[in-house]
Structure 1
Amino acid sequence: MSTKAMVNEFAKMRHLRVWLLTLILAVLAIGIGLYGSTMLGPDFDPASDDAWNSVLSASGFTLAGPLLLAVIASRQVDIEHQGNGWLMSATSGVTSGGLCRAKLFSLGIMVTIATIAVSGALLSVGLLFGVTAPIPGGRWIGFTACIIVVNLVLLALHIVVSTRIENQLVGIGIGLLGTVLALFGNEIPAWMAHLTPWGYYALSTAAEYQDGVLVGLTPSYASVLALGAVATTVFILFTGRLDRQEV
């Protein structure tokens, strides 16, 4: 991957204020999660052994992620359509496929940092609320890693969509649909959640209600890993095909 292409992508992000969209993603993920969490309810007991389950269930990526990731990818790709950037990159030796890979890598760094920041912020909130039970470190790290993978897969998906379809409203519409699918991910059978990338937010869950009781869960690591592998393969094939096409 061209270092120059990476530097250019970060420069574009600064110009397009993509960093601000990423910050909004993180803030909304925390705000939405806390608003819907039992942590703010009168029944929350920070001394309970299950208190961390309330914190783990407070991630709002399910609602904030699908649409904002679509907007972030769309904004970063649309500038190439508007300014004939594909041709300009080709003349400087960067293929369209290489440009897409640079976009995913640069945006992926931002999204990964935001996801880790949200995870760390929720952990800090739990400590501020006085949770005294031992932190479920393994489950916490696993949950964070799964959310990172799902976020990156959706980011790659929207880069592909935004590259192939110049009308960016299509990608935004897919993001809106994804929000609905992610929202109901916990309400449908697990096999159905496997059918769309947005359903993997539910499969990454580390705590959910079962029979009215909030319990800890082990994220579906194998499923999320398989999603990441399939998405990586498809993205490599897609960008490889772009490498062989004339602009």
Structure 2
Amino acid sequence: MRTATVANEFAKMRHLRVGWFLGLLLIGVVAVTVFSWVSMIASADTPAPDDHVWRSVLAGLGLATTLLAPVLLAVLASRQVEIEHRGNGWILSAVSGATPGRLCRAKFLALGSLVVAVAIASCLLLVAFGLAAGAQAPVPVGRWLAYTASVAVVHLAVLAFHLLLSARVENQLVCLGVGVLGVLLGTFGAALPVWARHLTPWGYYALITPADYVGAELVYLDPHHTSVIALAVVGGGLFLVTTARFDRQEA
């Protein structure tokens, strides 16, 4: 992968207002999480245990991520690819040596690095919020680190899928519609059998949910970290194979 190709993708972002959507993802996830936390605290009719703050923040974070990430990742991928469809960018890049597959990989590296940074930043801000909210129990560092790593992997898998879809389908409304469908699959994923959640990248948002209500009690859950590792390996492999096919088809 040429560094210049990736750098060129960052340059394109300045004209596509990608920063606005990344900021919306960051602020939206934090804001919805805080709102969910306030709602949980207000509805509690019994004294909360010491670690209730962390459980409620993590539960709210899982919900906020599932509600916002699928659509905003679809928008980010669509904007980064749509410019190639509009201005014959695929042909111009191929002439300069950046084949369609290589261009998709460059877009993934550029956008993916920023998406991971947003995932890390949102978790750090919410840890700071939990401390400011008066959490008495120690920060469950292991759970926060595991969720941050897991959600970064799922974000990247969803982003890779949408980059490939946007590259294949010129009508970007189709891609955005798939993003909306992803919200539904992620939100109602908890109601599906575990095997069914593994069938789509959005189902993994339900698999990595760190905390949720079981009956009337808010408890920590056991996320499927092994499944996330498998998603990274299989998803990464499929992305590389598919982009390599893009190169051969153009050749």
| TM band (smaller chain) | over 0.9
Q: 1:62-98: CA deviations, max 9, x gaps?
A: 0000111000000000000001111111111111111
- CA RMSD of the aligned region, Å? 1.5
Task: Provide the C-alpha distance between the structure 2 equivalents of 1:46 and 1:92, rounded to a whole number of angstroms.
Answer: 62
**TM score, norm. by length of structure 2:** 0.94
From 93, 96, 99, the equivalent of 2:100 is 96
**TM score, norm. by length of structure 1:** 0.95
- The question of 1:236 aligning with 2:240 is answered yes
For 1:6-45, what aligned pairs fall within 5 Å after superposition?
6-37=6-37, 38=39, 40-41=41-42, 43=44
Task: Provide the C-alpha distance between the structure 2 equivalents of 1:70 and 1:195, rounded to a whole number of angstroms.
Answer: 18
**Match of residue 83 from structure 2:** 79
- The question of 1:245 aligning with 2:244 is answered no
From 85, 101, 123, the equivalent of 1:119 is 123
Task: Provide the C-alpha distance between the structure 1 equivalents of 2:190 and 2:197, rounded to a whole number of angstroms.
Answer: 8
**Match of residue 51 from structure 1:** 53
**Match of residue 65 from structure 2:** 61
Structure 2 residue runs of 5 or longer lacking an equivalent are none
For 1:142-221, what aligned pairs fall within 5 Å after superposition?
142-221=146-225
Identity over the aligned pairs, expressed in percent?
Answer: 48
**Match of residue 107 from structure 1:** 111
- Comparing 185-194 with 219-228, which one deviates more in the overlay? 185-194
Structure 2 residue identity aligned to 1:52:
W
Aligned pair count reads: 247
SS, match of residue 197 in structure 1: coil
SS, match of residue 109 in structure 1: helix
Deviation at 1:218, TM superposition (A): 2.6
SS, match of residue 244 in structure 1: helix
SS, match of residue 9 in structure 1: helix
From 132, 135, 139, the equivalent of 2:139 is 135
Task: Provide the C-alpha distance between the structure 1 equivalents of 2:115 and 2:47, rounded to a whole number of angstroms.
Answer: 32
Structure 1 residue runs of 5 or longer lacking an equivalent are none
Q: 1:117-170: CA deviations, max 9, x gaps?
A: 110111111011000101111111001111001100000000000000101011
Deviation at 1:112, TM superposition (A): 0.5
1:34/1:188 CA distance change after superposition, 3 Å: farther
